[in-house]
Amino acid sequence: MTIREVPTTPFADQKPGTSGLRKKVPVFQQPGYAENFIQSIFDSLDGFTGEALVIGGDGRFHNREVIQAAIRMAAANGFGTILIGRGGILSTPAASHVIRRYGAFGGIILSASHNPGGPTEDFGIKYNISNGGPAPEKITDAIFARSTAIDRYLTLDSADVDLDRDGETRVGGAVVRIIDPVADYAALMEQLFDFDAIRALIGGGFRIAFDAMSAVTGPYATEILESRLGAPAGTVRNGVPLPDFGGHHPDPNLVHAKALYDEMMGPDAPDFGAASDGDGDRNLIIGKGLFVTPSDSLAMLAANAHLAPGYARGLAGIARSMPTSGAADKVAEGLGLPLFETPTGWKFFGNLLDAGKATICGEESAGTGSDHVREKDGLWAVLLWLNILAVRRQSVIEIAREHWQRFGRNYYARHDYEGVDSAAADTLMVELRGRLDALPGTGIGDLRIEAADDFAYHDPVDGSESRKQGIRILFEGGSRIVFRLSGTGTSGATIRVYIERYEPADGDLDRETGEAIADLIAAVETIAGIARHTGRTAPDVVT
């Protein structure tokens, strides 16, 4: 089969964000758009001739088309083996595991995570390296630089590969192997968790509701929760991945998983409710009568992880992204473990996990995970919770209360202002940055600003520096407001405001979050002037 060099010209907008390149489907459907980006990935890598590449996605609209193009291009560029999840499906954590398990050179993951799917909705391409994690900035910067100068991509003429039949076919010089997307991942979960204990818990009548949101975790959750752990049929809802996620946002938060939330707060609530996002890396945890914030979930999982066989030897350290609450810090302090504070984006955990400095990581954006893969992992978080519940034989609410009584409670909320004019959002941040030196020592109502800075991260493993990662306003007493612009949006800007107040273990642990942080919410406008800059007087989403 002859390799074809197709002439092309650059697209100016292929800069990867927090998590790869994300655009609307019609943007990706422009002739050469996906091809340019994929070739820019290959052109930024060295030494993959004859090596294996993993390709898979969350099944959203346009998934199969890009997979077929990527297969031809990977073969034309010299990869030796191309591993593909059957049906073009691989959840993001499963892709990470497959890359590691088969010693692949890297992987291409097709997803726009929790963003909606469909002909006019979102699509994305992300490259992961051989450790199974997202490419570090050095590589994503190189990919972007290449995308601005690209003049050809390599492909070959071959028939579409049948993605729905297991087995091997040849495309050019490469072997394309279709693999079961669930089997390897499910086996890994059986190693980490005490499936017998969880099975006994469920057998005793413990009720679970898992909402797969018509996204990729459906087949994984059905196999693990229903087939292997014996939960009754129907435990997994919306379990069939759909190209448009049934028209919903596959985002497991209190807005988009409201039905589950309402059920969990109702009189006939199951014991445990959970959901995962489009590509299976995020999680939502709701106990009967209690939503567990992602920041709290990280802290509670870290404090109890030793109850699961995979973590019985204890943790090396805990890592959290900067805007994530300090609840995990209290656990690290209590257990005498190192705590790492990184910029937003799972890729920053990769070095810490590889170096064995951290075992468990988490982000306020509903991501939790460990060193078992190099992505956050929605079902993993669900299974760790179930393992802990099976051992402790307490309810989620009891575990949470005991946790706060030991470590104190971080009341926490995130306010998002979505679809804001990008220039206005930039001006807001620039203005705020300009005032950082003047803020310390000033007061707003009863609050006194102790320090203010623009978060910068010095990676302790490779020494790299990442600046301008979010503005932190720190108040006396440990309260905090953080401002940053989202790096994952596909249109306009999203301003995220993270608000947190620490209540010590002997303080009032049973307040409503909104009331506990009301004075901080009021201070947001004084500090940043969101209404003045954007015309917005209230956030679009509060999580």
Binding site for ligand G6P (CB under 6 A): 18-19, 113, 321, 344-346, 363, 365, 367, 486-488, 496
Q: Which is nearer to ligand G6P, 418 or 519 (CB)?
A: 418
Sole binder of Zn ion in the list 279, 296, 364, 375 (CB under 5 A): 279
Q: Which does 365 bind (CB under 5 to 8 A by kind): ligand G6P, Zn ion, none?
A: ligand G6P
Q: Determine the Cα angle at 100 with ends 96 and 103, to 5°.
A: 135
122 binds Zn ion (CB under 5 A): no
Q: Is 281 in the site for Zn ion (CB under 5 A)?
A: yes
The listed partner (Zn ion, ligand G6P, none) that binds 371, CB under 5 to 8 Å by sort, is none
Q: How far is the CB of 99 from Zn ion (least distance, A)?
A: 17
Q: Please enumerate in sequence order all residues whose Cβ is within 8 A of that of 144, keeping only pairs 6 or more positions apart, or say none.
A: 14, 15, 16, 40
Residue with tokens 């060099």: 5
Six-digit token pair at 60?
């959203």
Cβ–Cβ under 8 Å, residues 58 and 111: yes
- Which residue, 197 or 212, is less far from Zn ion as judged by CB? 212
Cβ atoms of 272 and 385 closer than 8 Å: yes
CB of 514 to ligand G6P, least distance (A): 21
- Using the rule CB under 5 A, is 283 a contact of Zn ion? no
Pick the closer one to Zn ion by CB: 113 or 486. 113
Contact 324, 295 (CB under 8 A): yes
End-to-end CA distance of the chain: give it in Å, rounded: 53
Q: What span, in angstroms and rounded, lies between the C-alpha atoms of 116 and 122? A: 6
- Binding range to Zn ion, per CB under 5 A, among 112-120, 214-222, 311-319, 482-490: 112-120
Of Zn ion, ligand G6P, none, which one does residue 59 interact with (CB within 5 to 8 Å by kind)? none
Per-residue exposure over 213-244, b if at least 16 CB sit within 10 Å of its own CB, e if not: bbbbbbbbbbbbbbeebebeeebbbbbebbbb
Q: Work out which of 35, 121, 277, 363 binds Zn ion, going by CB under 5 A.
A: 277
226 binds Zn ion (CB under 5 A): no
Residues touching Zn ion: how many (CB under 5 A)? 5
Q: Does 371 bind Zn ion (CB under 5 A)?
A: no
- What phi and psi, each to the nearest 5 degrees, are found at residue 76? -65, -30
Closest residue to Zn ion: CB criterion: 113
Q: In whole angstroms, what is the distance from residue 440 CA to residue 446 CA?
A: 14
DSSP one-letter string for 407-456:
H-EEEEEEEEEEEE-HHHHHHHHHHHHHTTTT-TT-EETTEEEEEEEE--
**Nearest to Zn ion of 281, 363 (CB atom):** 281
Residue 173 or residue 487: which is nearer to ligand G6P going by CB?
487
Query: Which residue, 182 or 400, is less far from Zn ion as judged by CB?
Result: 182
Give the 3-state secondary structure of residue 108.
strand
Question: Which among Zn ion, ligand G6P, none contacts residue 534 (Cβ within 5 to 8 A by kind)?
Answer: none
251 binding Zn ion? (CB under 5 A): no
Please report how close the Cβ of residue 365 comes to Zn ion at its closest, in angstroms. 9
Is 58 one of the binding residues for Zn ion (CB under 5 A)? no
Among 40, 44, 91, 113, the active-site one is 113
277 binds, among Zn ion, ligand G6P, none (CB under 5 to 8 A by kind): Zn ion
Please say if 113 is a catalytic residue: yes
User: CA-CA distances (angstroms) from residue 63 to 91, 163, 216, 253?
Assistant: 13, 11, 12, 24
Strand ranges across the sheet with 106-110: 21-24, 122-128, 106-110, 52-57, 81-89, 174-179, 167-171
Partner interacting with residue 329 (select from ligand G6P, Zn ion, none; CB below 5-8 Å by kind): none
Q: Please report how many Cα atoms fall inside a 13 Å half-sphere around the Cα of residue 528, on the Cβ side.
A: 34
Would you count residue 113 as binding Zn ion (CB under 5 A)?
Answer: yes
**In whole angstroms, what separates CA 521 from the centre of its chain?**
26
Closest contact distance (angstroms) between CB of 249 and ligand G6P is 13
Question: Judged by CB under 5 A, does residue 459 bind Zn ion?
Answer: no
* Distance of closest approach, residue 486 Cβ to ligand G6P, in angstroms: 3
Least spacing, CB of residue 376 vs ligand G6P, in Å: 7
Q: Which of Zn ion, ligand G6P, none does residue 155 bind to, with CB < 5 to 8 Å depending on kind?
A: none
**Dihedral sign for Cα atoms in the order 214, 362, 293, 381:** positive
DSSP tally for the chain: helices H, then strands E: 18, 27
**Backbone φ and ψ of 353, nearest 5°:** -70, -45
Closest distance between Zn ion and the C-beta of residue 110, in Å?
12
Residue whose CB is less far from ligand G6P, 81 or 283: 283
SS3 state at 354: helix
Contacts of 190 (CB under 8 A, 6+ apart): 228
Is residue 375 part of the contact set for Zn ion (CB under 5 A)? no
Confirm or reject binding of residue 486 to Zn ion (CB under 5 A). Answer: no
Is position 368 an interface residue for Zn ion (rule: CB under 5 A)? no
Stretch that binds Zn ion, among 149-157, 192-200, 281-289, 515-523 (CB under 5 A): 281-289
| Cα–Cα dist 213/113, whole Å | 12
State the angle between helix axes of 396-407 and 327-335 in degrees (0 to 180), rounded to the nearest 10: 70
| Residue 279 binding target from Zn ion, ligand G6P, none, CB below 5 to 8 Å by type | Zn ion
Q: How far is the CB of 79 from Zn ion (least distance, A)?
A: 25
Minimum CB distance to ligand G6P, residue 393 (Å): 33
Cα separation, 130 vs 128, in Å, equals 7
Q: Could you tell me the smallest distance in angstroms from the CB atom of residue 499 to ligand G6P? A: 15
Assess 253 for contact with Zn ion (CB under 5 A).
Answer: no
Contact residues: Zn ion, CB under 5 A: 113, 277, 279, 281-282
Active site (catalytic) residues: 113
